[in-house]
A = this chain, B = another copy of it.
Amino acid sequence: MTDSVKYLLAEDQMPKAWYNLAADLPVPLPPPLHPGTGQPLGPDDLAPIFPMAVIAQEMTTERWVDIPEPVREVYRLWRPSPLVRARRLEKALDTPARIYFKYEGVSPAGSHKPNTAVPQAFYNKQEGVKRLSTETGAGQWGSSLAFAGSLFGLEVEVFMVKISYNQKPYRRALMETYGARCIASPSPLTNAGRAVLEKSPDSNGSLGIAISEAVEVAAGCDDTKYALGSVLNHVCLHQTVIGEEAMVQMEMAGDSPDVVIACTGGGSNFAGLAFPYIRENLKGAKVRIVAVEPASCPTLTRGRYAYDFGDTGHLTPLVKMHTLGSTFMPPGSHSGGLRYHGMAPMVSHVKELGLCDAKSYAQTECFAAAVQFARAEGIVPAPESSHAVKGAIDEALACKAEGKGRTILFNLSGHGHFDMQAYTDFFSGKLRDPDFAADELEAALGALPKVG
């Protein structure tokens, strides 16, 4: 066999439980704090915006959390997802490395996001919630929650950052096809939105504003809850189906990874692939774990590990994480899903404990890697996922230089079908690597809240 080959699991090999790294952490995770009192948050503090089952998962230290059968039934629409040995890419790189990727773009919404959108919709439905509110930047998360809502009969209201709403009408059309209502943020529908519009009627919006609007809607309606697509513990938990499946598939392939690579924005796709491997490392395995992030939003590589707000409007709890400062505005890029000032607290904690490495890449080198990948393997990566592709290719080229045949596993978290403008810009030479304002980072870090 000289060609790329995929390893498929039978449906009954799909994991029956999510893995919770909190059960195995050598040092417990610092708790989230109430922004008013500075005290650790209790379940009641979160009850206005999340269903109890989700709050319980956010706080549990149980090692395994059962996946409800109705969630597994929906997962079966696309899971188990394929693991592919990328022999064509290996050949194109002329590397002795063995490159595998786990492909999450087979989901209906085209990324890993439905892995958590589906259980979140399920738990909300079970607790009698009628409507979910959320925010979305590039639209991957919004379309995933719209998809999940359509399956469980929940209304979904998505506050989409206005510049994306206007620039990405096709992501919006996808959400509407799934029956969701998509609102440009800032909107006149909320106090938070109106306050912004009063000051800046032409505001392009930001993820921070959109979060404030979505949380306000959920907090103000009894039948409405809020859903978040990354960062939180329960989101990382739900994504571990990726890594659990990958482990079984690597066994099928008769191989095991020396290095595991995933991109990080809020941290959930990285957590999904990496946390099961970190568990094995804590038991003695020696897999190198690498988080790859954009040089324009280098949370793990240049941020500070400190308590900070999750949003720019300072409505959320304080969480301990790597942060560029909630007032830092990352420059525009085509990887909207990685453009977040903070990081999943659990991923940050893992990094602090030395359980993973982090590196950053500029977007043009990631697009060049994505094009090389597409021409070898046929799949066009999402701009976010292209960071993991670049990380894997770099590692494979290092193997070549050293004459060593390491095994590389990376997470191809989604396809780029709704991001082709980015490829058009890349081919036309319009794509630039945004300058990184080190002085603005200094200012934002100086303005971090004084707690923890």
Interface residues of A (CB under 8 A from B): 1-6, 8, 10-11, 70, 73-74, 76-78, 84, 88, 106, 108-110, 147, 150-151, 169-170, 172-174, 176-179, 371, 374-380, 417-418, 420-421, 423-424, 427
Q: Per a CB cutoff under 8 Å, which of B151, B169, B174, B379 touches A108? A: B379
Known: A8-B8, A177-B374, A178-B375. A170 touches B77 (CB 8 A): no
Contact A378 B88 (CB under 8 A): no
Known: A3-B74, A173-B424, A378-B77. A417 touches B110 (CB 8 A): yes
Contact B88 A151 (CB under 8 A): yes
Q: Per a CB cutoff under 8 Å, which of B2, B109, B173 touches A427? A: B173
- Which B residues are CB-close (under 8 A) to A376? 150
- Which B residues are CB-close (under 8 A) to A379? 108
Besides the contacts A106-B106, A176-B427, what 16 more A-B pairs have beta carbons closer than 8 Å? A3-B73, A4-B76, A5-B11, A5-B76, A6-B77, A8-B8, A77-B377, A108-B380, A169-B420, A170-B421, A176-B423, A177-B371, A177-B375, A178-B374, A179-B375, A417-B418
Contact B177 A378 (CB under 8 A): no
Known: A150-B375, A151-B378. A173 touches B77 (CB 8 A): no
Known: A3-B73, A169-B424. A378 touches B174 (CB 8 A): no
- Which B residues are CB-close (under 8 A) to A74? 3
Least CB distance, A160 to chain B, in whole angstroms: 14
Complex alpha-carbon distance, A88 and B147, angstroms = 13
Complex alpha-carbon distance, A214 and B44, angstroms = 68
- Which B residues are CB-close (under 8 A) to A377? 77, 108
- CB nearest neighbor in B for A168: B420
Contact B173 A423 (CB under 8 A): yes
Contact A173 B420 (CB under 8 A): yes
Known: A177-B374, A177-B423, A418-B417. A4 touches B77 (CB 8 A): yes
Least CB distance, A84 to chain B, in whole angstroms: 8
Enumerate 15 A-B pairs (CB-CB under 8 Å) in ascending A order: A3-B70, A3-B73, A3-B76, A4-B73, A77-B378, A109-B378, A150-B375, A170-B424, A172-B424, A173-B420, A173-B427, A174-B380, A174-B423, A177-B427, A179-B375
- Which B residues are CB-close (under 8 A) to A170? 420-421, 424
- Which B residues are CB-close (under 8 A) to A73? 1-4
Complex alpha-carbon distance, A170 and B110, angstroms = 16
- Which B residues are CB-close (under 8 A) to A110? 417
Contact B6 A76 (CB under 8 A): yes
Least CB distance, A1 to chain B, in whole angstroms: 8
